[in-house]
């Protein structure tokens, strides 16, 4: 088993009023040259969690960090006009909390962050600020989520 020290949260960049099935996500990634979906988990709007890549396989979700990370993607991330927005449903929020908790139990000490939080620190102040983000993904502040608490579902 590979060493896991990072859990990275992503969004599918799907408008909140549209659906993106796990099969469609897989096809999108294959068209980009990946060998299947690059994320390990995909959370649908109804809170259903799909294993889209075995955790044992290195992901294809965040350049430079794939070897030791697990990628989780939620369906959504754009408002109905295509602008970045936290479109997570209550079911997605609960499923994400539970999944992260389970992964932290399996891989203790993992850091949890959003894709944008791995952007380069261009001004060198030790903090990744909005003007430094390469992309807005996952369109919410992961560090403000309470992933350390026991989720209640």
The rounded distance, in Å, linking the Cα atoms of 113 and 79 is 22
10 tagged catalytic: yes
Of the residues 11, 39, 42, 61, only one is catalytic, namely 39
Distance of CA 31 to the CA centre of its chain: 20
User: Nearest CA to 65 among 87, 86, 88, 40?
Assistant: 40
137 tagged catalytic: yes
SS3 at position 96: helix
Of the residues 29, 42, 115, 139, only one is catalytic, namely 115
42 tagged catalytic: no
How buried is 123 (Cβ within 10 angstroms: 0-12 exposed, 13-18 middle, 19+ buried)? exposed
39 tagged catalytic: yes
139 tagged catalytic: no
* Residue pair 22/85 in contact by the 8 Å Cβ criterion: no
User: Nearest CA to 44 among 79, 66, 62, 18?
Assistant: 18
Of the residues 11, 73, 110, 137, only one is catalytic, namely 137
Active site residues per annotation: 10, 39, 115, 135, 137
């Amino acid at each position: 088993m590979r060493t896991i020290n990072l859990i990275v949260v992503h969004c599918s960049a799907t408008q909140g009023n549209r659906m993106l099935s796990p099969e469609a996500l897989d096809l999108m990634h294959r068209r980009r040259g990946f060998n299947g979906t690059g994320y390990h988990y995909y959370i649908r709007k109804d809170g259903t969690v799909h294993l889209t890549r075995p955790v044992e396989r290195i992901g294809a979700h965040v350049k430079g960090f794939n070897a030791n990370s697990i990628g989780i993607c939620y369906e959504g991330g754009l408002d109905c006009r295509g602008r970045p927005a936290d479109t997570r449903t209550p079911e997605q929020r609960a499923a994400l909390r539970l999944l992260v908790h389970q992964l932290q139990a399996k891989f203790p000490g993992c850091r949890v962050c959003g894709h944008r939080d791995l952007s380069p620190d261009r001004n060198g102040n030790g903090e990744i600020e909005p003007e430094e983000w390469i992309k807005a993904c996952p369109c919410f502040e992961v560090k403000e989520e309470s992933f350390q608490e026991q989720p209640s579902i």
